Amino acid sequence: MSTDSLIYDPRDPGVIQRPLDALLRLQDEDPVHWSPVLKGWVLTRHADVKTVQLNRGISSDRLTPFFAAQPDAGQDKLRDLIRYLNTWVAFKDPPDHTRLRTLLNKVVTADVMRDLETGITEIADDLIDRIAARGDGRFECISEFANPLPASVIMDLLGVPRTDMDALRDWSMLLQPFLGNATASDDKYELGRTGIVAMADYFRAAVEDRRRTPRADIISHFVSLQQAGQISEDEVIGSCILFLFAGHETTTNLIGNGLRALLAHPEERARLAAEPGLIASAVEEMLRYEGPTGAVVRVVKAPIDLHGKTLGVGDRVFAMVNAANHDPRVFEQPHRFDIGRTPNRHLTFNHGIHFCLGAPLARAEARIAIGRLLARFPGLAMESDEVTYMDTLTMRGVRDMWMVTG
């Protein structure tokens, strides 16, 4: 961010590490900011981000115009990515969004959630037991706890073996730079294609297996929908990839970011230890303070006037969720980490028709995972305050985070 002119550059290593420094200046001085780097509008105020999330005149289908604008060689490179990602409900507008969302809402119901909590606790305790059994007093939190916990849960729901976790995690990581709008990764298209083709092949084999032998899992449910003519084969494959990727990436970053925020505020950690019933409220503050959603990206379908500027048809909009969650117009002392904050009107899980399908599951996983880890290791601490954030504009998280058990 230049001191002479407001130029938001998300490629800057300092901005990747500390995006709020730049975004909160925009929030005060240029809340509807045209970024020549992103070739789109950057919105940072709570009310404006919420407007984007709720406005039917702003489209979630950002991949179709992006693909159409590419030269032939670029389209060849992106074809497999667009084929499967364009089946995701997250990138759909009504009526396709309504059709898919209605079908997906039947997968993780309230009854399913109640049954899952015991399993989540068992997985958390098993991972903690493994960490404790090593006896060396340190562990890498992302790969040993924050990632395998939600990944195990979603793999069980899909009905795929946990022994495949490493391969699926590697393929997901290849997809991260493309889906996360990485700004400093030159090969994100090729990496993304490699990852999504591998996942598509994997789930196509699983789908064929369920056609022969249906089970009580999500893949079998999707197969039954296809057989009933309600979704296409590509939508089956794409939805499996969506459940795998979205089902663990967000929660991994929520657990990692949330733990880091809590440990950086010892008075709030002591408060939680004294009042463990605050864990659900603490998770909401973790979602607000440094949530796993850095931004949502949309495309304007009908002109919108905001703060004296016109967002034109076809313009891309980057609604900066974490910045909105620090807007003093909505949050009292937004810089303060307060596990008892109420009300807490954060925008991390979106609003309206695109409210996060997995929000109840992510909340439960974070609540159980963080609660069990702190109960087992009351002296838990960061080995170092220094962490390196991923170059992903729409996702907020770190690759690794070493901790000592105390």
Per-residue pLDDT at 115 = 80
Contact indicator for 188, 177 with CB cutoff of 8 Å: yes
pLDDT in tens, 179-234: 888 776 678 889 999 999 999 999 999 999 999 999 999 999 999 999 999 999 99
Per-residue pLDDT at 184 = 66
Contact indicator for 330, 46 with CB cutoff of 8 Å: yes
Hey, which residues does 333 pair with through a beta bridge? Answer: none
For tokens 């992903």, name the residue: 392
For tokens 């789908």, name the residue: 207
- How far apart are the C-alpha atoms of 183 and 248, rounded to whole Å? 22
Per-residue pLDDT at 185 = 66
pLDDT in tens, 114-141: 788 999 999 999 999 999 999 999 999 9
Per-residue pLDDT at 247 = 84
- How far apart are the C-alpha atoms of 291 and 350, rounded to whole Å? 12
Question: Does residue 5 register a pLDDT over 70?
Answer: no
Per-residue pLDDT at 3 = 39
Domain residue ranges of the chain, discontinuous segments joined by +: 13-404
Q: Any alpha helices (H) in 135-232, and if so which ranges?
A: 141, 148-158, 165-179, 188-212, 218-227
Neighbours of 312 (CB within 10 A): 11
| Six-digit token string for 351 | 């609003």
Q: What is the dihedral of CA 291, 293, 295, 301, to 10 degrees?
A: -130
- Report the SS3 class of residue 84: helix
pLDDT in tens, 7-26: 788 989 999 999 999 999 99
pLDDT in tens, 159-185: 999 999 999 999 998 998 888 887 766
- CATH fold label, 13-404: Cytochrome p450 (1.10.630)
Mean pLDDT of 244-249: 88
Percentage, residues of the chain above pLDDT 90: 83
Per-residue pLDDT at 1 = 46
Neighbours of 309 (CB within 10 A): 14
| Six-digit token string for 212 | 């022969």
pTM: 0.94
Hey, which residues does 241 pair with through a beta bridge? Answer: none
- How far apart are the C-alpha atoms of 178 and 163, rounded to whole Å? 26
pLDDT in tens, 288-330: 999 999 999 999 999 999 999 999 999 999 999 999 999 999 9
